[in-house]
Amino acid sequence: EPEVTQTPSHQVTQMGQEVILRCVPISNHLYFYWYRQILGQKVEFLVSFYNNEISEKSEIFDDQFSVERPDGSNFTLKIRSTKLEDSAMYFCASRADQMEQFFGPGTRLTVL
Amino acid sequence: AQKVTQAQTEISVVEKEDVTLDCVYETRDTTYYLFWYKQPPSGELVFLIRRNSFDEQNEISGRYSWNFQKSTSSFNFTITASQVVDSAVYFCALSGRGGSEKLVFGKGTKLTVNP
């Protein structure tokens, strides 16, 4: 069964460093998302991406964040200069037209 | 603005008990989707159900059932004869129809099923 994959599963970084989180959505899906979940809290929407551009972003998704689909398979989230409060689980999701979102297993980001 | 409220933060039951998880939502959209996701201790988000706002039929899938009532803006989830493997955090979520269809999640209900 096709699934969304994410790498790495756990990333530890120093404050101020850049990180790139990688996702491979399900191959025939057209809509891509990033969400984050701070430990013990609810899942929050960051950004959605369709037709090679951002379709919607939340107030969390400030200038420090960017997304890219560099080729036909990968979908990346870059945080330019990490802060302590960026520590969270980051989930990638994808969906086909008018279907539910399927989530990847997440990348746990720890900023020291 | 869209909002999902899961008033039950934690529920603890004994195996084989039935348990209902409550979900109340707010939206100005006339068409929308409602979802339930399960997050087991391993951390992934597992899709359970999607319901279209036009379809108020209750749904049953094995030990799981969902009660959608537009009149009370609720979409409750019942597990019948709970098992230890049902222990997880359960999230209710809402999306508009059309546009990005981003998910707005509730805060989740942590269910613990004790043997």
Q: Which residue of A48, A102, A105 is in closest CB contact with B100?
A: A48
Res. A106 pLDDT band, cuts 50 70 90: very high
Closest Cα to residue B89, out of A1, A37, A9?
A: A37
Res. B57 pLDDT band, cuts 50 70 90: confident
Give the per-residue pLDDT at B55: 87
What is the percentage of chain B residues whose pLDDT exceeds 90?
A: 85
For residue B60, count CB atoms less than 10 angstroms from its CB and return exposed for 0-12, middle for 13-18, buried for 19 or more: exposed
pLDDT of B101 over the 90 cut: no
Region B34-53 average pLDDT: 93
- Asked if A44's CB is within 8 angstroms of B45's CB, the reply is no
Please report where in the chains the tokens 């008033």 appear, as a residue: B7
Res. B32 pLDDT band, cuts 50 70 90: very high
Mark which residues 31-90 of B lie under 8 Å from A by CB: 33, 35, 37, 43-47, 50
- Average per-residue pLDDT for chain B: 94
- Average per-residue pLDDT for chain A: 94
pLDDT of A72 over the 90 cut: no
pLDDT of A45 over the 80 cut: yes
Rg of chain A over Cα atoms, rounded to whole angstroms, equals: 13
Region B60-69 average pLDDT: 94
Res. B1 pLDDT band, cuts 50 70 90: confident
Region B8-18 average pLDDT: 97
The Cα B81–Cα B83 span in angstroms is 7
H, E, C per residue of A18-68 = CEEEEEECCCCCCEEEEEEECCCCCEEEEEEEECCEEEEECCCCCCCEEEE
A→B interface, C-beta within 8 Å: 31, 33, 35, 41-45, 48, 50, 55-56, 58, 89, 91, 93, 95, 99-106, 108
- Asked if A45's CB is within 8 angstroms of B45's CB, the reply is no
Tokens representing B79 are 């597990």
pLDDT of B99 over the 80 cut: no
Give the per-residue pLDDT at A71: 85
Locate the chain A residue with the closest alpha carbon to B91: A42
- Asked if A106's CB is within 8 angstroms of B105's CB, the reply is no
Q: Which residue of A41, A45, A103 is in closest CB contact with B102?
A: A45
Give the per-residue pLDDT at B96: 87
The Cα B84–Cα A79 span in angstroms is 38
Cβ contact B12:B68 at 8 Å: no
Cβ of B103 under 8 Å from any chain A Cβ?
yes
As a dihedral over the C-alpha atoms of residue A71, residue A74, residue A77, residue A80, rounded to 10 degrees, the angle is: -50
As a dihedral over the C-alpha atoms of residue A68, residue A69, residue A71, residue A76, rounded to 10 degrees, the angle is: 70
How many contacts does A have with B, using Cβ atoms within 8 A?
56
Cβ of B102 under 8 Å from any chain A Cβ?
yes
Region A31-53 average pLDDT: 95
Give A7 to chain B, closest Cα distance, Å.
14
Give the per-residue pLDDT at B100: 78
Region B9-21 average pLDDT: 97
Please report where in the chains the tokens 């869209």 appear, as a residue: B2
Cβ of B3 under 8 Å from any chain A Cβ?
no
Q: Which residue of B50, B100, B106 is in closest CB contact with A56?
A: B100
